Chains A and B, each alone.
Chain A
Amino acid sequence: MSAPKAIAMISGGLDSTLALALVKRQGIEVKAVNFYTGLCITETQRRKGGRPDGTIPRNEALRAASDLEVEIEYVDVSDQGYLELIVNPRHGYGSNANPCVDCRIFMMRKAREIMEREGASFVFTGEVVGQRPKSQRRDTMRAVERESGLEGRLVRPLSALLLAPSIPEKEGILDRSRLLGISGRSRQPQIRLARELGIEDWPQPAGGCCYLTDEAFSRKFFDILDAREEAGEERRILREDLVLLSTGRHFRLSPRVKMIVGRSEGENGVLDAYAGGRARLLARDLNGPVALVEGTATWEERQLAARIVARYGKGKDLPEVAIDWIEDGVPETLLVPPETDEARIEAMRI
């Protein structure tokens, strides 16, 4: 008879790595899955050419699967269904734009589909009871399990002894006595366990790798939704919005006009790629940022946008800078003084 199989939902953090090790050492065949949402901070750093110090962050889920020699599948969930979820979460947001409960239910439903397709007996995660204020409370964890359709088949190996026995434990597929009863925010039990299991390599806790937990990102996220609503449009977010929200400095020039200014060569490249349907601005004869302007700008707003581009370029101390405003492939040159009123710039920053 072949070994029983399980599906691991892993991020590559310490907890999911430990969960993977605990289940695998019980002789269970494990397939790891990692969900691609388009909202991972590390992934975004990679696509912009790495960290400011030139190093390229590792893909931690892949690192964990590799260290434990477990097959891994990436599941792209960054489609419209997921984008609707983050705009209208049934269970609401956490402290920023993070709909963690809905997101977990969504991913666990996907994991259930994979479990059924693969003929696996259960799904497991690295969740720890009481580790997060909302999504890892015991009652929320039970609700997530129920709503995902995984009732009885969702195992949290690190906290299993604090939860009701799951079906694989009752059936003897999983030995409950070899699972753990860790709870709370301290990481000391996990670090001790890692040493015991010979796991030496794990990422520092980042407090979540998801942009939706980031305060500055959330401000920009809700700004887009509010601006669309005020303009009489549907309150929605598009895939390209997410790329742009994690790129550059964002300024709202008016309720209908917004500007994004690149902060590095990598970001300028991203903005170049998304110039379609937007005005693209850059200094004509000097090094400086690429900027995009969304919406129909008035003459004053065009001047203001050009002055901001001049302010962030090499010509910021010159009396005047030539800025190319390129819209629908047609360039127009605006000769403007760089904006010097920092308080005005700050007031427009989203």
Chain B
Amino acid sequence: MPETPLPSPDLTLDTSGRLCPYPIVEIARAMKTLASGAVVCVVATDPGIVTDMPMWCRATRNQHLGTFREGAAFRSWVRKGIPA
């Protein structure tokens, strides 16, 4: 887990059991409905999220706050948009 506490998410997306690229497809869809600055937590069992989420955030100019393993699953925090 991270040393500094993460913000509580505005939305949690559970993609457990779904495989690459679905965790990314689902966050992309959800982001369209959220305001800039909103925080999303994606729960995934696909270990690919560890590399995918930072890359997706870079490609789409969102802020990757961190991806952490929690038992068999991973939790990935993303903030919509890049703070000025």
Which residues from A are CB-within-8-Å of B35? none
User: Hey, what's the 0/1 contact readout for B41-84 against A, CB within 8 Å counting as 1?
Assistant: 00000111011101110111100000000000000000000000
Residues of B within 8 A of A59 (CB): 20-21, 24, 48, 51-52, 55
Q: Contact: A47 with B19, CB < 8 Å? A: yes
Within 8 A of A (CB), among B4-48: 19-21, 24-25, 28, 46-48
- Among B24, B51, B58, the residue within 8 A (CB) of A58 is B51
User: Would you give the shortest CB distance from A231 to chain B, in whole angstroms?
Assistant: 31
Please state if B48 and A46 are interface contacts (CB–CB under 8 Å).
yes
With a cutoff of 8 Å between Cβ atoms, the chain B residues found around residue A69 in the complex are 58-59, 61
**Number of A-B residue pairs having CB atoms within 8 Å of each other in the complex:** 58
- B residues less than 8 Å from A65 (CB atoms): 55, 59
Q: Residue of B at shortest CB range from A73?
A: B28
| Known contacts A43-B19, A71-B60, A62 near B24 by CB under 8 Å | yes
* A53-105 residues at the B interface, CB under 8 angstroms: 56, 58-59, 62-63, 65-66, 68-74, 76
State A133–B16 Cα separation when bound (angstroms).
Answer: 41
The majority secondary structure among interface residues of chain A is mixed
CB <8 Å contact, A36 and B46: no
Q: Does A149 contact B (CB under 8 A)?
A: no
Q: Are A66 and B58 closer than 8 Å at their CB atoms?
A: yes
- A49 part of interface (Cβ distance < 8 Å): yes
Q: Hey, which chain A residues are within 8 Å of B24, CB to CB?
A: 59, 62, 74
In the complex, the answer to whether A66 meets B47 with C-beta atoms within 8 Å is no
Give every chain A residue within 8 A of B56 (Cβ-Cβ): 62, 66, 72
Taking a contact as CB atoms closer than 8 A, the residue among B28, B47, B58, B60 that contacts A56 in the complex is: B47
Interface centre among A46, A62, A69, A76 (most CB of B within 10 A): A62
Query: How big is the A interface, by class?
Result: 20 to 34
The residue of chain A having its C-beta at the shortest distance from the C-beta of B53 within the complex is A62
Q: How far is the CA of A72 from the CA of B27 in the complex (A)?
A: 12
Is A4 part of the contact surface with B, judged by Cβ < 8 Å? no
Interface pair A47/B46, CB less than 8 Å apart:
yes
Q: Which of B28, B47, B48, B60 has the most CB of A within 10 A?
A: B48
Cβ–Cβ contact A66 & B55, under 8 A: yes
Q: List 17 A-B contacts (CB under 8 A).
A: A43-B20, A43-B21, A46-B47, A47-B20, A50-B47, A56-B51, A58-B51, A59-B24, A59-B48, A59-B51, A59-B52, A62-B24, A62-B56, A65-B59, A66-B54, A70-B59, A74-B21
- Using a CB–CB cutoff of 8 Å, the interface residues on chain A facing chain B are 34, 36, 43, 46-47, 49-50, 56, 58-59, 62-63, 65-66, 68-74, 76
A-B complex: 8 closest residue pairs judged by Cβ atoms:
A66-B55, A65-B59, A66-B59, A66-B58, A47-B19, A74-B21, A62-B55, A46-B48
